[in-house]
Amino acid sequence: MMITDSSIRIPLKGAEEGEVTVVASQIRGYGVWDGGLAQGGALLAGWEGPAPSLLFLWVTDAQTNLMQRELSDIQASSATSGPPCSFLLLVLKEQLQELQVALLASILDMKEYREGHSSPSSIGLTSPLAWTDGLVLLHSCPPPVDQHLLRLLGQSTEKSSQVRRSQRNKTSTSGSSGLQQLPTRLIQYPAAPSKGRITVTKEDLACLDAGEFLNDVIIDFYLKYLLLEGVGGSVAKRSHVFSSFFYKQLSRRRAAGEDNTPSVPDRHMRHQRVKTWTRHVDIFTKDFLFVPVNQEAHWYLVVVCFPGLDEVQREDFWSRTGGAERAAGPRAFSLRSQQPPECTKQGCQRDTVLKRPCILVMDSLKLSYHENVCRLLRDYLQVEWEVRRATPRLFTPDSMRSSSCRVPQQDNSSDCGLYLLQYVESFLQNPVVQFDLPVCLDNWFSRQQVRQKREEIRSLVLRLHKSQQHDGEN
């Protein structure tokens, strides 16, 4: 099976070069299930060893009809007998590990796939679909297809009735508006008439459930909130946060229609795609640029430090932070079990500090290859400088060093987005002031802070939702 950002191509057993294609935008929902739940059914009868993972796809009627025609061209007529079915159940070769499930889910949560997720539904379920949600959907199939699929999954008539009753109870207790329609808009942030608003929906809120993978909307919303009002202070004013789409747009390959002439350097072509993103801000007047990166379905943070600085400098730490502020720092942490990192504002005991133009990488798993990211950002800075300053300046690995920081690490496969957000929040609250590389931030924050982050963000969205509703009524 081949999964790309535009489609899923599924080979057919027993057919030479036969396959069916599911278009990304035609997927209404998906679920990744533990096959052990279906071991009592015909689907895995005779399966030896640990039960494999199951991939469940719910597709549109248009995709269903197209697949039925494709099947009729490839296989015997019996393959398309009976009423059409909008569900695909794929048995994978083995049980996916937790990280693999997260990676698969992150692909199926890409923008191209989510176009189908937002289609109206009378059932009102959202992806990823739980096992019980899938059974509810199978009940909607016309007979005898519904009973056939349920038997494959080991669901007896009695079990099916229990699921139906459970779903009816769920609908009645959650209210008619909860399940009768797919995600609706919760908030726009910042509120009108501010520009650059981010819309957060109920679907986006669902990715804050335990074990879910944060999507780009939640990442962008919380980063903007942190910068505008969540932390405040001088560090926020000296910082710029890029959208999660910035690096994605900067790094993508040349598309059809883009200038392919060899005379146009690659860095200029890439800069052309994002040149309007900073038309209202001179990034070289900022001390810190925060760039969220999603690489191979894993979130991490890149911080460009002092892009306007062309050499290493030393400065008086007191003149930058103020004596009272510096003196209060260690006492503020005196009740904690660990002291803040020495290179940060609240842990620094120096009279002078070193600052340098550099690129800091903060990765909670260290699974990704970072050098290409740093190279593309240097190329971007070089062209942006030429455009802004109308003078040449080279951003090289020597003049702008890159370094992976020692930062708190995640202990599961789903919290990388939360760690990215916590890195930014901690930086704004307690920034790095001493730029000896590599930067060591092991005690920057506790793991408990990250574990509370999902509920903190959820509460924030719901609080803003209530406030915006109240303002709308007035």
Active-site amino acid positions: 298, 363, 416
**3-state SS, residue 250:** helix
Residue with structure tokens 């959208």?
243
Q: Which of 163, 225, 232 is nearest to 456 (CA)?
A: 225
**3-state SS, residue 304:** strand
Q: What is the largest CA-CA distance in the chain?
A: 83
How far is 302 from 404, CA to CA, in rounded Å? Answer: 9
Kindly state the tokens that stand for 425: 């929040």
Q: Is the peptide bond before 144 cis (omega within 30 degrees of 0)?
A: yes
Find out whether 388 and 282 touch, Cβ atoms under 8 Å.
yes
Element at 379 (helix H, strand E): helix 371-389
Residue with structure tokens 């009735």?
161
CA dihedral 157, 159, 165, 168 (to 10 degrees): -100
How far is 77 from 59, CA to CA, in rounded Å? Answer: 22
Kindly state the tokens that stand for 69: 């025609």
Find out whether 138 and 38 touch, Cβ atoms under 8 Å.
no
Q: Which residues on adjacent β-strands are paired with residue 58?
A: 29, 87
**Kind of pairing, strands 7-11 and 2-3?**
antiparallel
